[in-house]
Structure 1
Amino acid sequence: MTGPRGAILIRARVANFPVQPGALLQSQLSATCQSRRKDRTEMSSIPASHSSSSQVTVASQVPFADLCSVLELIQKCKSRPEKTKYFKDFLDSWRKFHDALHKDEKDVTDSFYPALRLILPQLERERMAYGIKETMLAKLYIELLNLPKEGKDALKLLDYRTPAGSRGDAGDFATTAYFVLKPRCIKPGQLTIRQVNDLLDSISINNAAKRKDLVKKSLLQLITQSSALEQKWLIRMIIKDLKLGISQQTLFSIFHPDSAELYSVTTDLEKVCRQLHDPSASLSDVSISLFSAFKPMLAAIANIPQIEKQMNHQSFYIETKLDGERIQMHKDGDVYKYFSRNGYDYTQQFGASPLEGSLTPFIHNVFRKNVQNCILDGEMMAYNPTTQNFMQKGNKFDIKRMVDDSELQTCFCVFDVLMVNSQKLGHEMLSKRYEILNNIFTPITGRIQVILKHQASTQKEVIDALNEAIDNREEGIVVKDPTSVYKPDKRGEGWLKIKPEYVSGLMDELDLLIVGGYWGKGLRGGMMSHFLCAVAEMPSPGEKPSVFHSICRVGSGYTMKELYDLSLKLANHWKPYRKKNPPCNILCGTEKPEVYIEPCNSVIVQVKAAEIISSDMYKTDCTLRFPRIEKIREDKKWSECMTLDLLEQLRGKASGKLATKHLDIGHNAPQGKKRKTMPKVKQFIGVMDTFKAPDLSNVSRLSSIFEDVEFCVMTGTENCPKNELESKIAEFGGSIVQNPGPDTYCVVVGTENIRVKNIISSSKHDVVKAEWLLQCFERQAFMPWQPIFMIQMSSETKQYFACKYDCYGDSYTADTDVAQLKELFSRMNNLKEKISWDVIADTEERYSWNCSPFNIFRQHTVYIGISDEAGSLRDKVNRTSLLTSALMLRFHGARVTSQLEEGVSHVIIGEDRGRVKEIKAVRRTFRRKFKIVSEQWVKDSLKAGKLQNEDVYLI
């Protein structure tokens, strides 16, 4: 079957929304369907194995370029309704083409799956495991395009995360690659959606088999047969991050109302697409089924003071929270399957039958004789039979890859049952499921066990259980409501978890020094998003430390404001880290930073983690598990960071566990830290109302977008006075001060007064218009600053804006709208600077834009020879035509001047030749002679898309 006729509709809808299918669909698809019937007849003699691979499907007819066009439209749209409309139009076109293509067939397996797996690649992690990262792609492109290794484009690809290494898209490899590939790639691509899927599957299969040469071969096929735009989206599919600005749940809801629920109990995207292909069909019985992976129910973080209320003041279960791998076991007779929480199949490791695997042979005979099949939910642990205890996940082992000769053994710790003898139990109460669980198998210590639980009803019992878990070096506890039912892919719903790190004051914290950094991606593009931290060698008495040992890489725990402030603080001190010539005072293991900072220019960060574990990646031979930054220690000098000696003491204190303190029920704080209550002192000194702090005690908190952010509101606006702004800030989690200090995020100003002018003249603080704050309230989000909002900027903020905006306040990266554009132009009119056409021409040449038909007149300065008077109708027509040509010249790159002056390259004359003699006389006085040409030269050049020979049009 040649010619993807059915895809024509999809391409038309993508390019020119909206397109009405109707009769057009029938006429376009009639030839396709006739050819399809012919193909089916011819294929009847082909063996089944070949027939399936040769089946004509929608995906085999739709060009991959069409899908990329839809994704590009979705990404560029700002509003959610527009994004959903484009996706729905594409989906509807697919379904109509599908129905016409298969109208005479039954039991059709063709579905939207080939497209949806590319749109949601993160859901196909097991099937689409490529082992490919941005660096590998960069090297492949450099090799394929034969780019000089030290050339501009090669460095852009390799250094895509650095601000200097990209086109304002720091951290986005796909966009950086697109601009490198754009002038070099074929247009359009040649692949269909099915061909792209086949090649990606080939990469995944060969990657699993470690056949790197075949992986590279398939990659080359994708690259050489795709346009730059297609490769941009291919890269995002391979990296599994499409950046569409629309959630997975939204796409599921558009595809089918039941699709999200079906996926949560199957984790099978292909099954979802096939069973719910018809949008009018309803899924009456969405439930857990045997040998089909489902998303397990999860626990939410508990609020200890509210624990009794969260359990509805009824008794509840307390279980130990084990630190292993969440696994579900499916058993039917002698057949077993094991799935992870994300739906990965680990049956090969644990055993598909009683004759194989690290677990199944040891547990097959423990099940009661009347149990034919069952589904169990639990935690897979590594058990040490010598010490008779469970190993923590932080130790050097992987339960999913344990070898037979390991001294550890696999143990399945079960805490729930979802099916027994084909009876589904998800809708039964937890208490009933526990009764059934205790009658399914006989536990064997170290092989298969039921997680112990005890019944409780008070907050004190929860705290006692948590303190006992801390003493036993366990991960924490889980609190469960006995009346809860099992809800796949839901968090909470009667299940709550408590870890020591969730409770303030229970963890030992480490004061580490930042010694290295890593450029960020996405929202963190253009700044450091992760940091390499170190501890110091113990210095001689009276001296500062001089040598530092790396211990961990940390990239979480801080807010975007804290990261932004930290980036500004350290921005001028980063230096490239050269592996061949590393700094002698910063010692690293195998983990090397991208940039480093001299310790004397750095800051200490307080880091919280679950435990200290062994690792050869860092110089200390250990690292932190789940590290996150609690705060920046502004009160400490760089030389006061943790030392190696102190680290070793902490490491040996509790076998590496950093939770050693108990929770005190009286104050809900660590024991030994009792708060002193200070006597209240009456204040007799009066304060003017203007300077009084507002009474915000009755303000209800609605959001946390301003959490830990301090504001100083000087004045309000006419419609929103100062006290209302302050109340709003409190509602959104912020704090208020009446005088700005070192911790004040910004000063908010509605109208100027003397106090405001004094703040501005001090140049110490960022002074922001109240409109910015109102916009944050309206959108319920922490909106980034723009130049339009700024009244006064600190030196650090000025430096930041210089990297993000030009001198007119126009962003280098963010899209704009009509109102912003008008305001921007008004600022340009106020500035007396002139745009250099040479600079524009150089920029176009630099990025290969000089071949565009929209700049064919770029190198020319043109004067339009229009008569001052236009009396007759003919004169008016001639004048209108010339004015139109002037607009077209400007649109296509020319500089049109109103003065006949030195530097003019061309004078354009219409049908009225009355001024030609005068213009020629002026030309004799010019040092550089211009050409006088007829208006037809402009029209013919525009029609041809390139400059025509002026000699033919000379006057």
Structure 2
Amino acid sequence: MPRSRDMQVDDDDDDFTDTRRVTQEKEDEDAKYPNRPRNTKPSLLFSALYKELFNPLLANLKKPTGPKAKIYNQQKKPQEKRREIINRFISKWRKEVGNDIWPAFRLIMPDKDRERSVYGLKEKALGNILIKVLRISKDSDDAYNLMNWKQPRIAGDNKAAGAGDFAARCHDAISKRALRSEPGDMNIDEVNELLDQLAEDSKNQFKVIQEFYNRMNAEELQWLIKIVLKQMKVGATEKTFFDCWHQDADGLFNVASSLKMVCWDLWDPEFRLNPTEKGVKLMFTFQPQLAQFQLRSFEDVVKKMQTTEDDKTFWIEEKLDGERMQLHMDDEGNFKFWSRKAKDYTDHYGSAVDDRNGSLTRYLGNVFKPGVRNIILDGEMVTWDPIEDAMVAFGTLKSAVIAQRTDDPTAHRPFFRVFDILYLNDTSLVNYTLRDRRNALNSAVNPVSRRLEVHTYTEGSTVEDIKSKLRDVVAEASEGLVIKNPRSMYSLGDRNDDWLKVKPDYMKELGENFDLIIIGGYYGGGSRGGRLSSYMCGLQAQDGKYYSFCKVGGGFAAQDYNWIRHKTEGKWNTWNARRPPTEYIELASGQAEKPDEWIKPEDSVVISVKGAQLAPSDQFKVGVTLRFPRFMKIREDRSWDSALNLMEFFRMKREMEELKHEHDMQIERRRATKRVRKELKIAGADEIVEPIEVRNENLFDDMNFWIMTESSKPRKSKAEIEGMVKASGGNIFQSDGGAADVKCIADKSVVKVLTLKKKGVKIIRPQWIFDCQELGFKLPLEADRHMLYVPPGEEDSFEETVDRYGDSYYRDITVDDLGKILRDTVKLEDEEYISNEAISRLKDELSQLDPPIGWMFQHVVAYLDTPENAEKNHIRASADDIRKSFSQSRPQLDGSGLTLMMCRNILKFGNARITDDFEDEEITHIIVDYEDLSRIRAIRRLLSARDTIPRVTLSDWVEESWRDETLLGAENFPVEL
């Protein structure tokens, strides 16, 4: 379509704006780095990177065998040779290019470059682009190998070669079709310019990759792909590169996290930073201290912590399940937030207390005490549920940020738990002890409830202190513990023994061994590429099928893998999501765990697996899975049909819960006994745990109670409930004594409760006691809310307490009640209906949150480019377009109609509107599933006359959005012409 004069003017304006922006950025850089170095010559060729740096470093890792081994052992140590290789490259750069090594370092360490935007490309997306660039069929062996890069190749002499290494798979496909056999002429500056385009313009990613393909050979492209994926592994760490560049480089990067600053501030090897410049800098992200991995035993942990004879205490903190975050505030009240990976999250959490778009800072108006001018805090950002008053699992922070913008007080919220302070009033605190830093933190911060609080700790000095605390966090399904030395300084960017992780799976008494059968396998990456490195285990159900239960990949030794591979050789089958082996294996529905390979149970082996605890999960068919699963040993003595089955598992689960409950009760009784003596003089009751507010002291006069368990919601111990009853005039018994007038109270089905159920005794939940206290009178019992067990035949006795929907006649409805009523009301009466206006209003409200999967495509009006629709709408290609398509595209793939039919069903389920009328002006997306460029060109011509042009996108957009349960950007699935 010829461009109109107005379009040309708009383009000129855009070019002028871009030029002005680039000019402004350069001026800002010059002001920020007045002494930055300038290169006087063109940069080195890109091929010099792998010829003179990457390949020699990788060769240095390989230790020769045979006759060469003796010579090798007499040479320099590998670390010395490594530094020689890097120093030689740096010297060449200084001599032939100049002192600005920033262009090379951002390619050598792409994961440390914070200046370039993210590419939005992973292996699958890159594979799709390469298939188009190489013009190969999606049905070809090379296309299969690219898209299934973790699995063994389906063709070739060495099928396992390159498995788990995507870049190697790309090299295999490209080398057969490379336009160059020798290295290309692209230099490092040109590569950086194209990579900037790749990151900034997602619509032109195909063209950028095409340009790289035209000007590079296969080996250059292989290294380029590693740079894009930020998976270098060149045989040297960034610390080694920094040390070779400048002796202060690693220290500066730890406090500033800026690769550009390291290159531009430290270009002169003779220049040295003064001590004040090595501390953390306000409004510059730093590399935080990390906790060291688990030691062999708790005794080792205690030994590491007790570094002095005078003070042997250590601090025990709960390990939080969130995202490591640092908060900076300057003298003007401006905030900045950065993650551990130096990603800027200020737009999420707020730039100032008056930032109405910020989900956190607008609640922090009084968080800092008078006199605090500037500050840097280190902590964990978690998600908090105000209804449950509890933390939510990791992975919900993004939705919590969005929810807070609606000002809904019941919505999930970001909650910053601070555990360290590194900067206060122009002073770096990294060289102060942890104990001193905590004192400074407490003197500087006013906690804001459930918004910003100081993370608590417990002092300990023995192994039992750690075990006791670990039992508590495991009971609450927490991540584990971090043990800290209060006498230690803050080590920027370091992981040392001053902070130690302790995870539950190392506590023998908390775990349980399960003998499980392997039903599936997952291919590994890297050194585990090309072979199954983790396994799905299952439990046999009563219908004879095996239900998925857990995935285990840790704890295997090489001999374990070899034994399993030997026993199962030739018996594995590729998992086909469209034709799953449901006669043998059942997986959970939806986006559940799916193995790469599966095996018939009778062909498999039994392994012993240990877990820290059982946890609910929608990823496995059983509905429960092992938390922190770990392989223990192979059970050669057990046949496939003797592995743990579903009934045995649930019996073991009940026994474990009863044992744990009895153990907890013993601990609670001991604690209550210790507290009794203190409360006896104050409250006059021998088992009151703490003073209790009682509205009616005669509420339970002459009534008898047997409290058998604690309550789970609200959480109150058995002793607390007994104290509440006694304070209201009730009598406490420790059995029913065979009397009908003793009210048996329990919230869990422990052994004593099960015995009473067999006798036909009513079991009342503690909630009834709490409700009576709240209202000030004895409330009639409600079946769902107040009864744990109703004997057969007595169900009708509760009909007069609630209406047909479950709404109580005697008390006000709560939020939880309303939620249950809405869930249980499965159909409307004939005369009732939901208006279109109500549905529209509800959709608008949900659109502000992460919508349910059933409304994912609610704003989409889709036209599917099927041959039937094309014929109906008279969309035909011109002869010229057909000729072009023969030279530019592959033929249509078989089964594309089925794919579009599946897309139609997904879109309908996701509440999209499907139209077969191409003239419909409300169309937002045109979905295609092939590369018949002739008809697509015809569609583009017809669309050019419209005021609003729909997006033409591949069917992959629908399928991948459905798989990820979120609406992905359609611009990432373009149809290239």
TM-score under structure 2 length normalisation: 0.56
Q: Which of 267, 275, 287 pairs up with 1:295?
A: 287
Unaligned 5+ residue runs, structure 1?
A: 1-42, 100-109, 540-545, 666-955
Q: Secondary structure at the match of 1:277?
A: coil
User: 1:596 and 2:598 equivalent?
Assistant: yes
SS at structure 2 position matched to 1:185: coil
State yes or no: 1:256 paired with 2:250: no
Letter in 1 for 2:228: I
Which residue is equivalent to 1:415? 419
Deviations 1:773-826 (A, max 9, x none): xxxxxxxxxxxxxxxxxxxxxxxxxxxxxxxxxxxxxxxxxxxxxxxxxxxxxx
Deviation at 1:92, TM superposition (A): 1.0
Aligned to 1:113: 102
- 1:826-873 CA-partner distances (Å, limit 9, x unpaired): xxxxxxxxxxxxxxxxxxxxxxxxxxxxxxxxxxxxxxxxxxxxxxxx
Indicate the SS of the match to 2:142.
helix
Shift of 1:419: 0.7
- Aligned partner of 1:537 in structure 2 is 541
Distance 1:284 1:50 in 2: 28
1:176 counterpart residue number: 169
Q: Cα 1:139–1:462, aligned 2, differ >3 Å: closer, same or farther?
A: closer
Gaps of at least 5 residues in structure 2 are: 1-18, 31-36, 64-77, 668-977
Shift of residue 571 of structure 1? 2.6
Q: Which deviations, in whole Å up to 9, do the C-alpha atoms of 1:175-230 show, x marking residues without a partner?
A: 33223322432333243222222332333334xxxx4x333333333223322111
Q: Do structure 1's residue 461 and structure 2's residue 459 form an aligned pair?
A: no
- By how many angstroms is 1:367 displaced? 1.0
1:375-454 alignment, distance < 5 Å: 375-393=376-394, 403-405=404-406, 407-454=411-458
Alignment of 1:925-936 (within 5 A): none
Equivalent in the alignment of 2:555 = 557
The reply to whether residue 309 of structure 1 matches residue 303 of structure 2 is yes
State the one-letter code of the partner of 1:597: I
Counterpart residue number, 1:93: 92
The residue that corresponds to 2:936 in the other structure is none
CA deviations 1:563-605 (Å, max 9, x no partner) are 3333333232112222332212222343433221111111233
**2:57 maps to amino acid:** I
CA 1:53 to 1:427, structure 2 compared with 1: closer, same or farther past 3 Å? closer
Output the amino acid matched with 2:163.
A
- Find the residue that maps to 1:438 and give its secondary structure: helix
Q: Residues 658 and 340 from structure 1, CA distance in 2 versus in 1: closer, same or farther, beyond 3 angstroms?
A: farther
Give the structure 2 partner of residue 221 of structure 1: 211
Q: Aligned equivalents of 1:151 and 1:321: distance in 2?
A: 48
* Residue of structure 1 equivalent to 2:639: 637
CA distance in 2, matches of 1:59, 1:623: 61
Q: What's the counterpart of residue 75 of structure 2?
A: none
Match of 2:267 in 1: 277
Q: 1:235 aligns with which of 217, 225, 234?
A: 225
Structure 1 residues 575, 196: closer, same or farther in 2, change over 3 A?
A: same
Residue in 2 that maps onto 1:69: 51
Partners of 1:398 and 1:658 lie apart in 2 by 35
Give the letter aligned to residue 336 of structure 1.
F
Residues 250/148 of structure 1: CA separation in 2 closer, same or farther (3 Å cut): same
Q: Which moved more, 1:598-607 or 1:640-649?
A: 640-649
| TM-aligned CA distance change 1:658 to 1:238, over 3 Å | farther
Call closer, same or farther: CA 1:280–1:492 in 2, change over 3 Å.
same
SS of aligned partner of 1:583: coil
- Does residue 487 (structure 1) correspond to residue 479 (structure 2)? The answer is no
- The 1-side partners of 2:394 and 2:313 are apart by 31
C-alpha distance in structure 2 between counterparts of 1:422 and 1:346, whole Å = 23
Shift of 1:436: 1.0
Distance 1:150 1:461, change over 3 A: closer
Distance verdict in 2 for CA 1:127–1:610, change over 3 Å: farther
**Quick one: distance in 2 between partners of 1:279 and 1:399?**
47
Alpha-carbon distance in 2 for matches of 1:170, 1:265: 38
State how far apart, in whole Å, the 2-side matches of 1:68 and 1:462 are.
Answer: 49
SS at match of 2:444: coil
Deviations 1:689-744 (A, max 9, x none): xxxxxxxxxxxxxxxxxxxxxxxxxxxxxxxxxxxxxxxxxxxxxxxxxxxxxxxx
Deviation of residue 614 (structure 1)? 5.6
Q: Which residue of 2 aligns with 1:330?
A: 328
Alignment partner, residue 668 of structure 1: none
Q: Residue 518 of structure 1 aligns to a residue in which SS?
A: strand
1:266 aligns with 2:261: no
Distance in structure 2 (CA, Å) of the matches to 1:482 and 1:66: 49
Partner in structure 2 of residue 758 of structure 1: none
Distance 2:254 2:26 in 1: 33
Structure-2 change in CA distance of 1:369 and 1:51 (3 Å): closer
Question: Matched residues in 1 for 2:316 and 2:303: separation?
Answer: 15
Aligned partner of residue 345 in structure 1, secondary structure: coil
Secondary structure of the equivalent of 1:366?
coil
CA distance in 1, matches of 2:661, 2:185: 58
Residue 201 (1) aligns with residue 196 (2):
yes
Distance 1:411 1:654 in 2: 34
Query: Is it true that 1:189 corresponds to 2:184 in the alignment?
Result: yes
- Which string of whole-angstrom CA distances, capped at 9 and with x for unpartnered residues, describes residues 752-779 of structure 1? xxxxxxxxxxxxxxxxxxxxxxxxxxxx
Q: Which residue of 1 aligns with 2:734?
A: none
Aligned-pair distance for 1:657? 15
Tell me how far apart the structure 1 counterparts of residues 487 and 480 of structure 2 sit (CA, whole Å). 22
Indicate the residue corresponding to 1:24 in structure 2: none
Deviations 1:633-684 (A, max 9, x none): 334333344444566678899999999989x99xxxxxxxxxxxxxxxxxxx
CA 624–280 in structure 1, closer or farther in 2 if over 3 Å, else same: farther
Aligned residue type for 2:128 = K
Report how far residue 326 of structure 1 moved.
Answer: 1.9
Deviations 1:397-420 (A, max 9, x none): 866776535622222111111111
* Corresponding residue SS for 1:295: coil
Q: Which amino acid in 2 is paired with 1:236? A: K
Q: Distance in 2 between matches of 1:523 and 1:650?
A: 37
Write the distance in 1 (CA, Å) between the matches of 2:433 and 2:642.
55
CA distance in 2, matches of 1:650, 1:57: 70
Assess, with a 3 A threshold, how the Cα gap between structure 1 residues 494 and 578 changes in structure 2: closer, same or farther: closer
Conserved in 1, the CA contact under 8 Å of 2:41 and 2:96?
A: no
- Greater Cα offset, 142-151 or 57-66: 57-66
Q: Which residue of 2 aligns with 1:720?
A: none
SS in structure 2 of the partner of residue 529 of structure 1: strand
Q: Structure 1 residues 304, 47: closer, same or farther in 2, change over 3 A? A: closer
In structure 2, give the amino acid aligned to 1:329. Answer: L
2:317 corresponds in structure 1 to 319
Q: Is the 8 A contact 2:512 2:612 kept in 1?
A: no
Superposition pairs of residues 470-481 of structure 1, within 5 angstroms: 470-481=474-485
- 2:565 is the counterpart of 1:573: no
Residue 138, structure 1, aligned to residue 140, structure 2: no
Cross-structure match for 1:35? none
The answer to whether the 8 Å contact 1:259/1:276 transfers is: yes
| 1:427-478, Cα deviation, whole Å (9 max, x unpaired) | 1112211111111121122111112234343344333333333444443333
Percent same amino acid at aligned positions? 31
Moved more, 581-590 or 480-489: 581-590
Secondary structure of 2:338 counterpart? strand
Q: Which secondary structure does the structure 2 equivalent of 1:439 belong to?
A: helix
Counterparts of 1:600-619 in structure 2, within 5 Å, are 600-609=602-611, 616-619=618-621
Distance apart, 1:621 and its partner CA: 5.3
* SS of aligned partner of 1:278: coil
Distance 1:362 1:654, change over 3 A: farther
CA contact (8 A) 1:650 1:656 kept: no
